[in-house]
Structure 1
Amino acid sequence: MATDKNNVEALIRQSRPINIKDPYDAGWVEGKTILITGGASGFGEGFFRKWAHHGANVIIGDVNDARGNEIVAEVRKTTGNKHLHYIHCNVANWQSQVSFFRQSVKLSPTGGIDAVVANAGISDGAPFFYEVPDYDAVEEPPAPVYKCFEVNLVGVMYTSQLALHYLSKNPKSAIPNTSLTPAPNTRDRHLLLLGSIASLGPIPGQVQYCVSKHGVLGLFRSLRSTAFVNGVRVNILLPYFIDTPILPAVGRLVLAGSGMGKPEDVIDAGTRLMADTRIVGRSLAIGPKVRIDDDWQVISPSSPNGTESAVWEAYAEDFVEVEAFTRRFIGAINQVEVIRGWVGWATDVLLAFAYPVRNMLRR
């Protein structure tokens, strides 16, 4: 780890950057009780099937009751795993999520929850944000419908709030240890967020989706430096355009010829984060498999140089290498701290304790 004062990596309590080439064992999820919102389709269904196959106790929540019950019955039969359940859950409704978590704890064979995947999400619906109606045509313009925003961000924040509570109470679990080799049936405290390529850059026309996914990234970047208070490790997946039901026909036409990512690469990346309890505060972006050189230029797949992968770590060094303004600003603040020294620190501490009294005297 670098020793530059502008390096605040240690304060964020991250594990080391992920080397995708490092092996991991999907069997490490065995015995974990994992909750997945939006688990009846897409990535949620993929996670459910894989983790159930490896012996995890998986409980999925969704609004598609028929599909949810169907896949649970199917996977129970094919795996022999009886600790698989479906519970109706509307993530945009707080009480629905509270019920989902409470029922899940009762169904858990360990009496607790090891991991939560905030997966539920939808795309923008019609009309689009930029299709502005004539508000002067009616006396009382109706409020716009922000269902995508509510599901993708408000719902994820509801999930995260409940996850921090229940994960911290997981029996026989402990604060994540980044040096302890994972193993099956190891109790965990893991919150896995589902962002998007839209968390990193805008998608024209998908305003609500982009705003919500930028928000999920902001939630991750904030929680990863504070969730240690609850002993919870937080990670995020940032998929590119992937061949799942959330990608509409129009989007597929726009992307024609440019390539899409594969669902199995997203499932594999999520399984790495779920199984390897040493990974804390990390983000994985998933896209089409390409080979790139050291300057991130795409090169021939047959080239012996460069690195080929569909999974890359985003923000791997964002607390080590910062832009000029942040570096200068933090440097200036650090200099103020050095100049004021222990005397300045002691003065500030005394003023902090005196602050309530000073406020009372002013009233």
Structure 2
Amino acid sequence: MSDTQTLSGIQKMIHQSPPVDVTKPYDPSTVSDKTIVMTGGAKGLGAHMARHWASLGAHIVIGDLADAEGEELIASLRASYPKATFAYQHCDVTDWDSQVSLFETAVRVSPSGAIDVVVPNAGIIVPAQSKIFENPVLVDGKLPKPSTATLDVNITGAMFTTHLALYYLPLNPRPDRCLLLIGSVASIMPLPGQTHYAMSKHAILGLFRSLRATSHFKSVRVNMIAPFYTAQTHMMPPVTEAIFLSGSAGAATVADVVDAATRLVADEAVAGRALVVGPRMKTRGVDGLEGEDMAVADAEGDGQGRGIWEFYADDYEYVDSFVKRYLYLLNAVGNVRGWLGMLGDIWGIFRRK
């Protein structure tokens, strides 16, 4: 039996759908009337996803620590979409009881009395933690305990949310239930100098790769997005963003991240799949890339290239080769842009509102 035949057999056994063709349209209207529970949705990418899904007719329940932003977001959604249901609740994702309360609230306020989609979106990145971790220094003759704050939120918090999702989603009598995990490009690539964040996002990839093999027993679709650094989300201070991104291939866009997330939630045929979202790139003219799955037509992205890629996070014979080619493309685009690109990036970052 060939590797391809073996892989096909595994795909059938775990009910995994074929790779996502991101060049083809999907129907976002299936999100309408679904109840979505999201942690960390008060601001940043979570808030952008909430606004978009609300515009499609979804009911949204958000748990976060940013109470002012969360209440403001929910108030604006209620004003814009009075026929839908929206709720915000203070939630510390590292606290089990806090998350249990969030899910109980979601069931209570849901028009259907059930939950359709769960998004463990809460996450943090604390750049200083890794510097301290990688450069141990004695304090008063003793080595202090390293911080686990990032791991507590990004791993333990996501695990709590996922555990609750695997209980509540199967209680929904509707045929489609979806868990959308939020990874990062740091799930598949090293992020030197950010050990805590990279470790935590590698853990989310491990969670995804494990769950997608068994979630079909509960009739739950498990998918994942892995965004690159995304501009206009205030993930990093301007100075840090300039250092990390200037002269590179650039950042992902909010629109592409939201589109990728919406596709995985809305397309009820997609199960066990992951999409990486990064800067828009064109492969045409880049020497060293082979394979039709990396080809980008000039017309894609209005001529800007593609920002969303199926990265085969679960197809073992493809994953390593894709990551190699994607890194090659990122570096090639950065090299082509050169110093002029770097200066333009810095100028744009500090002019951004």
TM range (shorter): 0.7 to 0.9
Residue matched to 2:282: 291
Moved over 4 A (4+): 296-303, 319-323
| One-letter amino acid of the structure 1 residue matched with residue 201 of structure 2 | K
With over 3 angstroms needed to count, the CA separation of the structure-2 counterparts of 1:288 and 1:307, relative to structure 1, is closer
Q: How far apart, CA to CA, are the structure 2 residues paired with 1:233 and 1:208?
A: 28
Aligned pair partner of 2:236 in 235, 247, 258? 247
SS at match of 1:98: helix
What TM-score, normalized to structure 2? 0.80
> Unmatched 5+ residue regions in structure 2?
321-353
Aligned to 2:102, what secondary structure does the other structure show? helix
Q: Structure 1 length as normaliser, TM-score?
A: 0.78
CA-CA distance at 1:125 after TM superposition: 4.6
In the TM superposition, what is the alpha-carbon distance from 1:10 to its structure 2 partner? 2.1
What is the DSSP-based 3-state SS (H/G/I as helix, E as strand, rest coil) of the residue aligned with 1:49?
helix
- CA RMSD, 1 decimal: 2.6
Query: Within 1, Cα distance between the matches of 2:262 and 2:190?
Result: 27
Q: Which amino acid aligns with 2:177?
A: R
In structure 2, relative to structure 1, the CA distance for the partners of 1:2 and 1:254 (3 Å cut) is: closer
In 1: Cα distance, 2:11 partner to 2:317 partner: 6
Over 3 Å counting, the alpha-carbon distance change for 1:322 and 1:42 in structure 2 is closer
2:5 aligns with 4
In the TM superposition, residue 266 of structure 1 has moved relative to its aligned partner by 0.2
- Measured in 2, the distance between the counterparts of 1:200 and 1:320 equals 15
* 1:221 alignment partner AA: R
Instruction: Select 2:308's aligned residue among 305, 308, 311.
Output: 311
Q: Which runs of 5+ in 1 are unaligned?
A: 175-187, 324-363
1:199 aligns with 2:187: yes
More helix by share: 2
Q: How does 1:87-166 map to 2 (within 5 A)?
A: 87-127=89-129, 128=131, 129-134=133-138, 137-138=140-141, 141-166=143-168
Q: Number of aligned residue pairs: give it.
A: 306
Mapped contact 1:290–1:301 kept (Cα < 8 A): no
Matches within 5 A, 1:25-40: 25-40=27-42
In the TM superposition, residue 320 of structure 1 has moved relative to its aligned partner by 5.3
8 Å CA contact 2:59, 2:110 repeated in 1: yes
Within 1, Cα distance between the matches of 2:304 and 2:247?
A: 23
1:204: Cα distance to partner? 1.2
Contact 2:14 2:216 in 1 (8 A): no
Structure 2 Cα separation of the partners of residues 320 and 12 of structure 1? 17
Alignment partner, residue 169 of structure 1: 171
Tell me the distance in 1 between the aligned counterparts of 2:273 and 2:7: 20
- For the Cα contact (< 8 Å) 1:290–1:298, is it kept in 2? no
Amino acid corresponding to residue 311 of structure 1 in structure 2: I
Max radius of gyration: which structure?
A: 1
Which secondary structure state, in structure 2, belongs to the residue aligned with residue 145 of structure 1?
coil
TM-superposed CA distance for 1:12, in Å, is 2.8
Structure 2 CA distance for partners of 1:54 and 1:253, relative to 1, 3 Å = same
Per the alignment, do residues 11 and 40 of structure 1 end up closer, same or farther by CA in structure 2, a change over 3 Å counting? same
